[in-house]
Structure 1
Amino acid sequence: MKTVLSRLLTAALLAASLSVQAAVVTDIAGRKVETPAKVNRILLGEGRLFYALALLEGKQPLARLAGWQGDFRQLDPQTYAQYQKRFPQIDRIPLIGNTSENSVSAEKVLALKPDIAIFSVSGHGPGLNNPIVKQLQAAKVPVVFVDFRNAPLEHTVPSLRIMGQALQREAEAERFIRFYQGKLDAIHKTVAAIPAQQKPKVFLDLRAGAFANVTSAGKGSLGELVDAAGGVNIGDALLPGPTGEINMEHVIAAKPDWYIGTGTAAPADKTGIQFGADVTPAQARASLARAAGRKPVGALAAVRENRTFGAWHHFYNTPYHIVLLEAFAKTLQPQRFAKLDPDASWQQLHRDFLAIEPQGVYWTRSGK
């Protein structure tokens, strides 16, 4: 009897030990990373990686956050304030830097003693070659890289899956992936049948009116969404990378059929397109008209003829861009995507995956 009990106990202990073994994940940079068996303290190398983390953490999105960079608080104060209202403790999450890679303090990072660090391959936080990566590894803190901004349609699903595996949130990750992939596949199927000559040319004006120069998207970033939605992003042929400053003479010569501007301005801001939790539909439309009408952008026929669309700029580095893809498709191919309802998708995303309620305006178009 003792032998049988001993064997059963040994088997139970072995099963328990296997269930808490560390997992090895291959991150989006192709690095094999051994992740902890249990994660209680998560460090975000860029604060806006919180957009993705929040999808996995459910109704307590801050519970395991050990620290993050200050870009979320500074660059998206409207969304930050939504979380602040519901979770006042958000202000107590330690900051490791401001809004740039150079501002991140290795001393602060190591002092937080995270169980794991989630970094982006590009953006405002520490990149692949930042010394902080090796310092964390030396301290036995695994660093996992993801990407939601350079190649969003290619990297969002694997990045979410990587985060799910690394953070013990695999079921939550797969649940959102089903939501995301179903919508993406439906759009891909329809767009695949659209003849090239029936795809309108689109000019993307990033952070429209916020700077003296004009910045656009090439292959990657929001440019990918335009192409996937049944349009042709003219920046694909004019820019060497995902984003960059663009020559407006070349844009005017390309004769785009649609103008799309992005922005993050608040209601009190005098420049930029207004989008976010505090913005009304009238404010969004008026600010879109101002930004699109500025020189030399206003010379475009698409602007003069009211073929303008605007969107929240932060879609560019969040899985939430799947809803913007629907809005693009419905705008650029209205007959083929007449049944799409991006407003309903936005409501569902919040209801099923986030801890805050949808409010404000995140996209608009001229005349609506």
Structure 2
Amino acid sequence: MHDSPLLSRPRRTLLASALLLAGLGVQAAELTDMTGRQVQVPDRIDRVFAVAPPVVPLVYAIDPGKLVTLNFPFKPEDAPYVSPAVKDLPIVGRYTGEGLPPNPELLASTHPQLSIAWDMPFIDAKQVEQTFQNLGTPGLFVHLEHLADYPAALELVGKAIGEEARATLLANDIRARMQRVSEAVGSVPEAERKRVYFAEGPEGLFTECNDSFHAEVIELAGGDNVMHCETKAMCGRDKVSLDQVATLDPDVILVDQPKAFQTIKTDAAWSGLRAVREGQVYLVPSKPFNWMGRPPSFMRAVAMEWFANVLYPERFRWDAETEIKDFYSLYLGVKPEVVDVPAILGGK
């Protein structure tokens, strides 16, 4: 459990929440959030404000109809995989990442009953708690830094919004996927692990240190992120030169943007790299949520499987057509026949 200033929250705030719930004439349950805070939550929640971008897909997977706002727009190509329940939701700002903070008037007009925030060391938790108070909602904090955090986060939120069975199903599914991948690739000797460069940005010359949650999928899949360094800021995206990448000469390059994907595959400046010569350059899927992150989400579970199969097909056998359709059906609620796997994978 992370140390957090939230644990010293004044008792009068909890009392105010209890009085608010009593005034609304609803029963309340006391939940312990993922920072150890005791929170009084109404027994029926239909309207949830996701305070930070990673919380949107978390709630979406459980019940998209509970969301009252979005922190970011979906792209037109995401449409087949996006629930009608969120298509016309207002887009408010964010308290984390890049962009403006939420518009208070717009936010208040959505009348949320519960706010859910992202607990991270870089976040101004006191500012977020003030938002809970301004909105008059109880607020939960969830850890969503690593994929291993998701089962507990799903179970907490599922309990809070009255969707325990659905949340438990997803939580157990993530646990099972992580175990299967770990059993398949966890025993790969360090000296034999595929070395991976994660190319970010339009030129592919931003990246993540190997301790960054933005690149966690690489190590979950049994790979070795060649950038052995310490992340200095939550947003990551450390600048590197092509000479640095060439010196590291990775076995595989994972790319987060289509423009950089084309550049790396076709620009003569990249052609001397082993990964390019051997055709080991892969574009990260992003429909409707990016599989690696930004925002981080449950999609990392399928990303981990896909990339483990890319790195070690002999160890982790995985049929993309079947597995991706099943995953999208379970987590996004879409019919398997709607899922266009070649378009999602984007190519190699």
TM-score (norm 1): 0.73
CA distance in 2 between counterparts of 1:212 and 1:54 reads 30
SS for the counterpart of 1:118 is strand
* Identical-pair percentage: 17
CA–CA separation in structure 2 for the residues paired with 1:250 and 1:346: 35
Contact 2:48 2:67 in 1 (8 A): yes
Which residue number corresponds to residue 12 of structure 2? none
Change (3 A) 1:185 1:240: same
CA distance in 1, matches of 2:99, 2:125: 11
Which whole-Å CA distance do the structure 2 matches of 1:297 and 1:49 have between them?
A: 37
By how many angstroms is 1:147 displaced?
4.3
Would the aligned equivalents of 1:298 and 1:304 in 2 still touch at CA under 8 Å? yes
Q: Which residue of 2 aligns with 1:245?
A: 238
Q: Is the 8 A contact 1:110 1:136 kept in 2?
A: no
Q: How far is the alpha carbon of 1:355 from its aligned partner?
A: 2.9
Q: Structure 1 residues 52 and 135 mapped into 2: Cα distance closer, same or farther (>3 Å)? A: closer
**Does the C-alpha gap of structure 1 residues 348 and 310 become closer, same or farther in structure 2, counting only changes over 3 Å?**
same
2:313 corresponds in structure 1 to: 334
**Structure 2 counterpart of 1:45:** 51
Relative distance call for 1:179 and 1:26 in structure 2 (3 A) is: same
Q: How far off its partner does 1:132 sit?
A: 4.8
Aligned residues of 2:158 and 2:164 also touching (Cα < 8 A)? yes
1:5 maps to: none
Change in Cα spacing, 1:188 to 1:259, as seen in structure 2 (3 Å) is same
Q: Quote the residue 2:328 is aligned against.
A: 350
The AA in structure 2 aligned to 1:329 is A
Gaps of 5+ in 2: 1-25
Conserved in 2, the CA contact under 8 Å of 1:23 and 1:166?
Answer: no
Q: Alignment length, in residue pairs?
A: 309
2:33, 2:39 within 8 Å by CA — same for their partners in 1?
A: yes
Q: Distance in 2 between matches of 1:91 and 1:153?
A: 27
Give a deviation string over 1:103-160, Cα, whole Å, max 9, x none.
411232233221011233469xx94436353132254312223344xx3223222221
RMSD: 3.1
In 2, the alpha carbon distance for the partners of 1:241 and 1:228 equals 22
Aligned counterparts of 2:269 and 2:238: Cα–Cα separation in 1: 14
* Structure 2 equivalent of residue 25 of structure 1: 32
Q: Counterparts of 1:156-167 in structure 2 under 5 Å?
A: 156-167=150-161
Instruction: Show the counterpart of 2:340.
Output: 359
Q: 1:290 to 1:40 in 2, by over 3 A?
A: same
Match of 2:173 among 157, 171, 179: 179
Alignment partners' CA distance in 2, 1:147 and 1:296: 41
The secondary structure found in structure 2 opposite 1:186 is: helix
Say if 2:284 is the partner of 1:311.
yes
Distance in 1, Cα, partners of 2:56 & 2:252: 32
> 2:304 — aligned with what?
325
Distance 1:174 1:141, change over 3 A: same
Tell me if 1:135 matches 2:116: no
The 3 A distance-change label for structure 1 pair 364 and 21 is same
Distance 2:150 2:270 in 1: 32
Instruction: State whether residues 164 and 170 of structure 1, in contact with CA within 8 Å, keep that contact through their aligned partners in structure 2.
Output: yes
Letter in 1 for 2:178: L
The separation in 2 between residues aligned to 1:48 and 1:358, in whole angstroms, is 23
Could you state the TM-score of these two structures normalised by the residue count of structure 2?
0.77
Q: Which has the higher Rg, Structure 1 or Structure 2?
A: 1
Residues 238-287 of structure 1: CA deviation (Å, up to 9, x unaligned)? 65466322323333222211111123x5xxxxx35xxxxxxxxxxxxxxx
Post-superposition shift, 1:217?
Answer: 4.8
